[in-house]
Amino acid sequence: MLLPPEGPGQTLGHFALVSYIPNPLARFLDRLTREMAPGCSPRAHITALPPRPLLHDVKDTVQQISEYTRGFPPFWVELGDVEIFESSNVVYIALARGGRELSGLYRALNSGPLAFGEYYPYHPHITIAQDLTGEEAPRVAAMAQEKWAAFTWPRGFLVSSLSFVQNVAPDIWADVAAIPLAMGVPVG
């Protein structure tokens, strides 16, 4: 298994696998993230495979991911409460539903040439703010929770495809390939 050569956040050139969140939920989450972390340029998503270097050809890797995901049907994700990862002071929205499916995808994909030693155990979530101090995180989480409580639209979405993305410049991720999950009747 490949282990990270540098510290967290050093992902330039790395690849990840995400599912973009649809509007109006994405619009709200992007606005919330920009408010909690000024200067951030978010695109609301949930990560199925965290950033990692790629040691093989991109085309071959996309083919491998497509083969792995062929056995995973679309599934429903429902967002829960605002929480804090105490070890990193990251403010995030937890999942009330869909975490089991995302963890299954992660376990299937984090193998073979895509295997990577993560900095933190995989825990599906929606990041709201990071790079906070221990004093800032509770204040930011309280503000985010207040705004999240006022959100009146549906808090769930269907994950039916994934996007393979590459970090091409600081805080800029480019879509490399769209990968549909197995077609079938989603469990909802």
Residue 176 placed within a domain: yes
| Residue 3 located in a structural domain | no
Percent of the chain surpassing pLDDT 90: 74
Of all residues in the chain, the percent with pLDDT exceeding 70 is 91
CB atoms within 10 A of CB 126: 23
Does residue 133 belong to any structural domain of this protein? yes
pTM above 0.85, yes or no: yes
- Please indicate, yes or no, if residue 2 is contained in any of the structural domains: no
Please answer whether residues 97 and 78 qualify as being in contact, where contact means their C-beta atoms are separated by less than 8 angstroms: yes
Number of domains in the chain: 1
Query: Could you tell me if 131 and 45 are in contact, meaning their C-beta atoms sit under 8 angstroms apart?
Result: no
**187 is a domain residue:** no
Looking at residue 128, what is its pLDDT?
A: 96
Question: CATH code at 91?
Answer: 3.90.1140.10
- Residue pLDDT, tens place only, 8-29: 456 778 999 999 999 999 999 9
Give Cβ neighbours of residue 139 (< 8 Å, ≥ 6 apart).
none
Tens of pLDDT, residues 130-184: 999 999 999 999 999 999 999 999 999 999 999 999 999 887 899 999 999 985 4
Q: Contact 127/73 with Cβ under 8 angstroms?
A: no
